[in-house]
Amino acid sequence: MHEFGRSVAKTKHAVVIVGGGPTGLMLAGELALARVDVAIVERRESQDVAGSRAGGLQSRTIEVLDQRGIADRFLSQGHTMQNISMAATLLDISDFPTRHNYGLALWQKHTERTLAEWVGELGVPIYRGTEVTGFMQDDTGVDVELSDGRCLRAKFLVGCDGGRSAIRKKAGIDFPGWDASVSYLIAEVEMAGEPASGIRHDEKGTYAMGKLEDGLVRVVLREEQVGRGDAPSFGELRAALVALYGTDFGLRRAAWLSRFSDATRQAASYRNNRVLLAGDAAHVHSPMGGQGLNLGIQDAVNLGWKLAQVLRGTSPESLLDTYHSERHPVAARALRKTMAHTALSRGDERMKAVRESMSELLQMDEPRKRYAGMLSGLDIHYDLGTGHPLLGRRMPDLDIVTANGAQRVFTLLHEAKAVFLNLGEPAAFDIDPWADRVQRIDARYAGAWELPVLGAVSAPTGVLIRPDGHVAWAGEDGTDQGLRDALTTWFGPPSAS
């Protein structure tokens, strides 16, 4: 690469995010809440999203948005429903111990627009209509060259630029996995005839059709041969309709037409020094099961506060290694399940028998809970060592009583700051050396402690909650064993008195 940027004035930011989709927007919001100077580079001129794309949010993602006080913005636009399925079996989570024991039907274009409005309120600049053409990192930062001739300088660069991520490729990060075995056309079309709404499973595979609110019809059609490239033709769409339904239903036009497959790949590393990856740039898979957008948003929430800690100088750069060690296994598991989901959608008699057997199992309580917990994101458990069952899991949104009256735990996380929840004696725990980084809340809670899938757990006397809502330490019997180590690990060494 040439020595770009040496004769060009550089605009400086602490973090530059490439890609203004759901993952990039969520990460920008997280960093802005932490008072980090962050900017987004986005190739689109506006936030408009072509087509319906991802269709909803899973329970844990709604919780994450609730932790930031913005869940109602999404809930007011979509439809809450039981939307988790496996092997064509609906997995009901209405008995799960969470305020959001449902999914949300909401097209990606609405999710993106709402996140963009939030990020705009937080004052995040977006370089629109431009792309990254190159970058070079050194010991202190990254020079980022844009297609409009500008050059940015950042302490860290984060690629949220999708499955064909230019940032991942330029960073030299391997993307191993499996090639596509099946592909689908997805389109929003206008038809003269009456569409055959609903999902079909037969010897031709799984395919579907249904009306949208604007009068168009959304079709998802399995191709007879695995398609190549991203630009299917109108003729291919017509041929696929005839092959699957025996008619094109008077197909008139396609307002949007694209192709997806079950190609499954994951970045070998989510970090190369000062370059990181999140969302589809880090993992691609079949959209069956609705995992992609949700994984990306949760990637962003795991990464944001860690970047902020490092940029403030309160934590070493090694804290960023925990982003990979925590999120890579979560995505790897999701990828395996989407592969299984795709295999189960095949329509031959042998796979139909497997699907029926799976369906029988999933109607039993324990298998249902296990799979629903995984697909909803509610069972995510980061390996933070041994200890209380809460350790590494999401903190329940309890109704607690504090000096300021009744509160929900999630309201304490609105500013993306860590919380130490003291549920014991007022002077039981000393976190004063971390008071500039961790909120201390003395509270009372008399109800049961219950986690999705895991069930009831013993009541802790104190809980250290990370900004992403996961528990970094939980105490029992009123002792503070391990608390000082947990505070140091996640929030840096104690401040001098």
User: Does the pLDDT at position 2 exceed 50?
Assistant: no
The CA distances from residue 40 to 114, 152, 170, 405, in Å, are 16, 11, 18, 39
Q: Which residues are within 8 A (CB) of 439 and not within 5 positions of it... i.e. 6 or more apart? A: 412, 417, 418, 419, 420
pLDDT of residue 211: 87
Token reading at 170: 């330029």
SS (H, E, C) the chain: CCCCCCCCCEEEEEEEEECCCHHHHHHHHHHHHCCCCEEEEECCCCCCCCCCCCCEECHHHHHHHHHCCCHHHHHCCCEEECCCEECCEECCCCCCCCCCCCEEECCHHHHHHHHHHHHHHCCCCEEECCCEEEEEECCCCEEEEECCCCEEEEEEEEECCCCCCHHHHHCCCCCCEECCCCEEEEEEEEECCCCCCEEEEECCEEEEEEECCCCCEEEEEECCCCCCCCCCCHHHHHHHHHHHHCCCCCEEEEEEEEEEECCEEECCCCEECCEEECHHHCEECCCCCCCHHHHHHHHHHHHHHHHHHHHHCCCCHHHHHHHHHHHHHHHHHHHHHHHHHHHHCCCCHHHHHHHHHHHHHHCCHHHHHHHHHHHHCCCCECCCCCCCCCCCEECCCCEEEECCEEEEHHHHHCCCCEEEEECCCCCCCCCHHHCCCEEEEEEECCCCCEECCCEECCCCCEEEECCCCEEEEEECCCCCCCHHHHHHHHHCCCCCC
Q: What b-and-e string marks burial along 486-496, b requiring 16 or more CB atoms within 10 Å of the CB?
A: bbebbbbeeee
Token reading at 336: 């395996």
Question: Residue 223: which region, alpha, beta or left (left: phi > 0; alpha: psi -120 to 50)?
Answer: beta
Q: Which residues are within 8 A (CB) of 288 and not within 5 positions of it... i.e. 6 or more apart? A: 262, 338, 341, 342, 345
- For the segment 124-133, what is each residue's pLDDT rounded down to a tens digit? 999 999 999 9
Token reading at 94: 């209405």
pLDDT confidence band for 46 (50 / 70 / 90): confident
pLDDT of residue 12: 96
Q: What CA–CA distance (Å, rounded) separates 338 from 287?
A: 7
- For the segment 57-94, what is each residue's pLDDT rounded down to a tens digit? 999 999 999 999 999 999 999 999 998 988 888 999 99
pLDDT confidence band for 394 (50 / 70 / 90): very high
Q: What b-and-e string marks burial along 440-459, b requiring 16 or more CB atoms within 10 Å of the CB?
A: ebbbebeeebebbbbeebee
User: Does the pLDDT at position 123 exceed 90?
Assistant: yes
pLDDT of residue 351: 85
Tracing tokens 């099946």 back to the chain, one arrives at 182
Higher pLDDT, 425 or 370: 370
Q: What CA–CA distance (Å, rounded) separates 295 from 308?
A: 21
Cβ neighbour number for residue 55 with a 10 Å cutoff: 18
pLDDT of residue 52: 66
Share of the chain above pLDDT 90, in %: 75
For residues 228-253, give the mean pLDDT: 88
Q: What CA–CA distance (Å, rounded) separates 147 from 165?
A: 16
Q: Strand order of the sheet with strand 283-284?
A: 177-178, 264-266, 283-284
Token reading at 211: 């009306």
Question: What size, in residues, is the chain?
Answer: 497
Higher pLDDT, 478 or 19: 19
User: Please, what are the domains in the chain?
Assistant: 10-177+265-376 (3.50.50.60), 183-261 (3.30.70.2450), 399-491 (3.40.30.120)
Q: What CA–CA distance (Å, rounded) separates 212 from 219?
A: 10
pLDDT confidence band for 4 (50 / 70 / 90): low
